[in-house]
Structure formats: structure tokens, C-alpha cells
Amino acid sequence: MTSVLVCADCGEEECVCAVLALLSPAARQVYRMVQQIEWQRKRVEELEGRLMEFQGAPQKKPIRVGTVEHIDRETGQVTKTERNAGILLPPPPNVCQECGRDHPHENPHDQRSLYYQMQFYAKHGRYPTWTDAMAHCPESVRTVWRTELIKALRELGMAVPADLLEDTPGGSR
């Protein structure tokens, strides 16, 4: 006559709970670690599958940005400077590929978007202005945005950038 282990928790014969009860605490810990690794492996597979979905959509390529200076610890002197040392990954395919934000094409890019600032700097050697962000917009949209930006900046007590005033009728500050 052989004895059968019955789980006190679920009532099933030879379930994992019953086997774990017989293991030493160290063995139980190893078992739980293996379960965690399996869960992480499944999560990685799921994320890789989602990545493959994005790879099928039209998207910009990664952009090389940034400058790194190598400094001698003893002398404090710059020994080497590398331009374009970092990689800026493209935004998801379902958002604007210039600024990385979800907005209608006729509206300006988000001038405050870190992605837009970095990719613009990589192309032009300077950071974008609101005028740059509105350059692709119809004149009617630029007029409305320029007026609202100037109004908001003044209400906040902030300086209005010169580029916003240049194209304003009358150019008043």
C-alpha cells in the first residue's frame, strides 16, 4: 500500500503545494526563484512579440546624438571628445515622428518634447523654437498659436522670445 500526498490547501493529490511542504526552506526558495525566472522569460517573449508588431510599421531610424568628453582623473584635462556618442530611439509609430507626440499634422510639434529637442539639435546644432515647431503649419494655425503663446507667456510673467514677436503684426512686446 503506497501513501498518496494530498494537499491541505487545494485537496489535490501530489500537487506542487504538497511537494513544496516536503522541501527544505532553501529548496523552496530555489523553486520560487525558478518560477520567477520562468515568469520573466514569458514576459520577455511577450514584449518581443509586441516589438515585432512595431517593427512592421514605418518608423524613423535611431539618431546618434550627444557629446562625451573623456577626462583624465589625475590632470582633469579632456583627453578625447566623441560627438554623436548616444543613440536617440525613434518614437512609437502611432505618434508624430518629428516630436514624438500625438497631435494632428496641421498643429505645431511639441517644442518642449525632449525627443523633438534632441533630434532638432542633432540636425541643426541648436534647440528648436516655437517658430520652428510651427514652420510646417498653415498660416492661420501659426497666427492662432503665436497669439496664444504670447498671451500665456505674458500671463505667467515670462519673457516672450523674439522669434514669436518677429512675425506678429506690429511686433509689439
Domain that holds residue 141: 91-166
- The answer to whether residue 61 is domain-embedded is no
Tell me the whole-structure pTM to 2 decimals.
0.56
Where would I find the H helices in the chain?
A: 16-22, 25-55, 114-124, 130-134, 139-155, 162-166
Task: Going residue by residue through the chain, which has 173 residues, state the pLDDT in tens, using 9 for 90 and above.
Answer: 556 666 666 667 666 666 677 778 888 788 888 888 888 888 887 777 666 655 555 567 787 887 888 899 999 999 988 877 788 888 888 889 899 999 999 999 999 999 999 999 888 989 999 999 999 999 999 999 999 999 999 999 999 999 888 765 544 44
Residue 8 falls inside a structural domain:
no
- Asked, for residue 67, whether it belongs to a domain, the answer is no
Asked if residue 109 belongs to a domain, the reply is yes
Do 49 and 96 share a structural domain?
no
